[in-house]
């Protein structure tokens, strides 16, 4: 019987999985990710409201700053998590494309901060820049959710493979 896990590249080696499961940074990421998503939803609502009605401009603009600061926080702690689990701060093979796309997300959010701080573009343009940053954030969040799902499937596949192997061992011991 073929091992369902071995037919695909493993997301985590057993040692990486152990480090992931034992790291406080895994918990930190698990808390920050939904918090950042909540901040995103509030900010998105404020930005969309302002774009549609023209009301609440200051709140909308400031909410993007807060969202960006939460993004910086999760990116910084994510780099530490990646170093603990994979031995490098960014672009570990298991999260390479997520990290690459995260750079675009960071660039757009940083461009927003620059525009907001300097007034280089109008508030309306800033809000549209925020919407572009938020679109990339949604794609990037989707990438990470797919990785989370892959990790769960890998763990499930390993449990099934271990159970199958244990049952096979019991059967072959009874035959011998």
Q: Give the count of alpha carbons within 13 A of 1, CB side only.
A: 13
Residue 35: closest CA among 62, 78, 67: 67
pLDDT reported for residue 108: 98
Predicted confidence at residue 167, as pLDDT, reads 60
Any domain includes 4: no
Tokens 């990710």, residue located: 33
Distance between CA atoms of 157 and 62, rounded to whole angstroms? 45
Sequential DSSP letters for 117-134: HHT-S-HHHHHHHHHHHH
Could you list the pLDDT tens digit for every one of the 176 residues in the chain? 334 334 456 788 889 989 999 999 999 999 999 999 999 999 999 999 999 999 999 999 999 999 999 999 999 999 999 999 999 999 999 889 999 999 999 999 999 999 999 999 999 999 999 999 999 999 999 998 888 888 778 777 656 656 656 566 656 665 55
pLDDT of residue 166: 57
Domain containing 106: what range? 14-175
7: in domain: no
Tell me the DSSP string of 40-101.
Answer: HHHHHHHHHHHHHHS--HHHHHHHHHHHHHHHHHHHHHHHHHHHHHHSSSS--GGGHHHHHH
In a domain, 9, yes or no: no
Tally of domains in the chain: 1
Q: Which pLDDT belongs to residue 154?
A: 77
What is the pLDDT at residue 160? Answer: 65
**154 close to 12: Cβ distance less than 8 angstroms:** yes
In a domain, 67, yes or no: yes
Please indicate, yes or no, if residue 1 is contained in any of the structural domains.
no
The verdict on residue 141 lying in a domain is yes
Residue 117 inside a domain? The answer is yes
pLDDT at 5: 38
Residue 44 and residue 64: Cα distance in Å, rounded? 8
């Amino acid at each position: 019987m073929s091992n369902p896990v071995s037919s695909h590249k493993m997301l985590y080696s057993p040692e990486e999985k152990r480090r992931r499961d034992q790291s406080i940074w895994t918990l930190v990421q698990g808390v920050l990710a939904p918090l950042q998503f909540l901040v995103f939803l509030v900010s998105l609502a404020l930005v969309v409201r302002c774009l549609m009605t023209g009301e609440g401009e200051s709140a909308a603009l400031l909410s993007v700053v807060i969202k960006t600061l939460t993004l910086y926080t999760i990116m910084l702690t994510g780099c530490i998590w990646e170093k603990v689990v994979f031995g490098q701060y960014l672009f570990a093979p298991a999260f390479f494309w997520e990290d690459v796309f995260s750079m675009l997300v960071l660039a757009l959010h940083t461009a927003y901060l620059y525009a907001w701080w300097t007034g280089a573009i109008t508030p309306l343009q800033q809000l549209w820049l925020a919407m572009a940053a938020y679109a990339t954030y949604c794609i990037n969040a989707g990438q990470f959710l797919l990785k989370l799902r892959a990790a769960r499937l890998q763990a499930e596949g390993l449990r099934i493979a271990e159970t199958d192997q244990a049952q096979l061992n019991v059967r072959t011991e009874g035959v011998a």
